[in-house]
Chain A
Amino acid sequence: MGVLIIVGTVKGAFLVRSDDKRNSWTVDGPHFKGWKVTTASRNSNGEYFLATASDTYGHAIHRSADLENWTQIVDGPKFEEEAQRKLNQIWFLATEADDYYAGVDEAGLFKSTNHGDSWLPVSGLNEHETRSGWCPGAGGMCAHAFLRDSQNPDRMWCGISAVGVFRTEDGGQTWTPKNQGIKVVIPDEDDSEIGFCVHALAQDPDDPNVIWQQNHSGMYRTRDGGDRWESIQNGLPSTFGFPIVVDPHTKWLYSFPLHSDEFRLPVDGKCQVYRSQDQGDSWHPLGNGLPESRYHAGVLRGAMDIDGHDPCGIYFGTTSGTVHYSNDRGEQWQSLPDIFPRILTVKVFSESDA
């Protein structure tokens, strides 16, 4: 059972396919040559979605049944003219359930109830009472993280950089900031509920209330759906980093720490993934097969993913265009031979699920 990796870069998408053992790879691309490819997803029918962006020509969502012939969705996410907001980029596409969600920069959430044909703003979040206090961080102000309660689809979480995590219990009508216990990054004079810089979220597949968060200010865990977060830094070499992913079988966690928000470089020039085998209580470096020194590329928030296999495969792409992977839960790592443009997103799909 092989995997498909969609590697989204600043100059297009590359489709990387493996053999059944995830040892041998073919690379096809670039697709959408010249466009940033910012995220990708698949729906329950096996149809793929891919988001493009351009500093000149703006954003779009495209879809394809065969990964060869793509059709742009004309009625995609769009701020109303009177909102005076600019939609710069689509950061995530959640298309697994019947209703789809898309998170964008400048921060906003959009929903489609017709399988992506048209999208409407989720006003309960986009016009939240704290909105006037939302401020962009170094990476802009984007709604980039999204989780859903597998046992209650009306319960969802959305992470907005430099603002924080919000939770809804009513299908997106109303949203509540859920950041207690997290160190504030941008204190707001009037509102202590915002100013928390979430970088990525991962959720326990069996207990939706257990969520891990790589934040601007450290690694955190909640056991109650975000009502209270606790710091889980034991063993990590820094507080900063972007991605966090969880193996659905073992619930082991994987992250890629970086040296401080000021420098955003690998710690001590080492390419090291950190793994937790105890739900975040402790972390340990993994590096067998990865570059051992003089390594200075980062991993962006969307550029690490995990497959659903057992043992799981972990995949990450770097800002210098390399892709590294392990097919044995992180024990041993290998690298693809290709050098891609700067990698924005890595999304992995099991070929057998399509």
Chain B
Amino acid sequence: MPEQEIEINVSSVLAMVTGGRKKFRCIGSTVNSVFEHLFDQEPSLRVHILDEQGAVRQHVLVYVGDEDLRWLGGLDAELNSPTTITVLQAVSGG
């Protein structure tokens, strides 16, 4: 499966732990492999996106293009073309 070039955008709150950086260029063939490339570049993000069991945190939303990652099969979802991944917090709380 060919690797794709992916742009990952993170929220402003997460940018507090990346020195203000919100955009990352990553490569991979699945969402999981793209995230691993992201964590190679910015190790501080792992604990904020994935939980202790390695799943996406319950209240973190991940969009692949316009699609919610949950409807694409989760972290093993394949990436067949260059796209954008957006990491957001769920709209909840105060």
Contacts and interface: CB of A to CB of B under 8 A. Distances in A.
B91 to A, nearest CB: 10
Contacts of B70: none
A32 interface: yes
Interface string A50-81: 00001111111010000000001010101111
A60 B48 contact: yes
B12 A56 contact: no
Contacts of A83: 52
A45 to B, nearest CB: 22
Contacts of B44: 60, 72, 74
B53 A60 contact: no
Interface string A230-242: 0000000000000
Interface in B41-92: 43-44, 46-49, 51-54, 57, 59-60, 89-90
A55 B53 CA distance: 17
A56 B87 CA distance: 11
Contacts of A62: 17
A56 B89 contact: yes
A37 B53 CA distance: 24
Nearest to A83: B52
A32 B17 CA distance: 8
B26 interface: no
B48 to A, nearest CB: 4
The size bracket of the interface on A is 20 to 34
A14 to B, nearest CB: 15
Interface in A78-94: 78-81, 83, 85-87
Contacts of A87: 52
A34 interface: yes
Contact of B52 (A34, A54, A76, A81): A81
Given A57-B60, A74-B43, A34 B51 contact: no
A229 interface: no
Nearest to A62: B17
A49 interface: no
A57 B53 contact: no
Nearest to A10: B94
Contacts of B90: 56
Tell me which of A35, A72, A81, A86 has the highest count of chain B C-beta atoms within 10 A of its own C-beta: A72
Nearest to A57: B48
A33 interface: yes
A35 B16 contact: yes
A81 B49 CA distance: 15
A58 B47 contact: yes
Interface in B31-46: 43-44, 46
A56 B52 contact: no
B51 A57 contact: no
Contact of B57 (A34, A58, A60): A58
Nearest to B13: A34
Contact of A81 (B17, B46, B53): B53
A72 B44 CA distance: 6
Nearest to A34: B13
B14 interface: yes
Given A55-B59, A55-B93, A56-B60, A86 B13 contact: no
Contacts of B51: 58, 86
A34 B12 CA distance: 9
Interface of B: 12-14, 16-17, 43-44, 46-49, 51-54, 57, 59-60, 89-90, 93
Interface of A: 32-35, 54-60, 62, 72, 74, 76, 78-81, 83, 85-87
22 contacts: A33-B16, A35-B13, A56-B57, A56-B60, A56-B90, A57-B14, A57-B57, A57-B89, A58-B47, A58-B57, A59-B47, A72-B17, A72-B44, A74-B44, A74-B46, A74-B47, A78-B47, A78-B52, A79-B52, A81-B52, A83-B52, A86-B51
The 3 A-B pairs of least Cβ separation, nearest first, read A57-B48, A56-B89, A72-B44
Given A33-B16, A35-B13, 13 more contacts: A34-B13, A34-B16, A54-B89, A56-B93, A57-B60, A58-B48, A74-B46, A78-B47, A80-B52, A81-B53, A85-B52, A86-B52, A87-B52
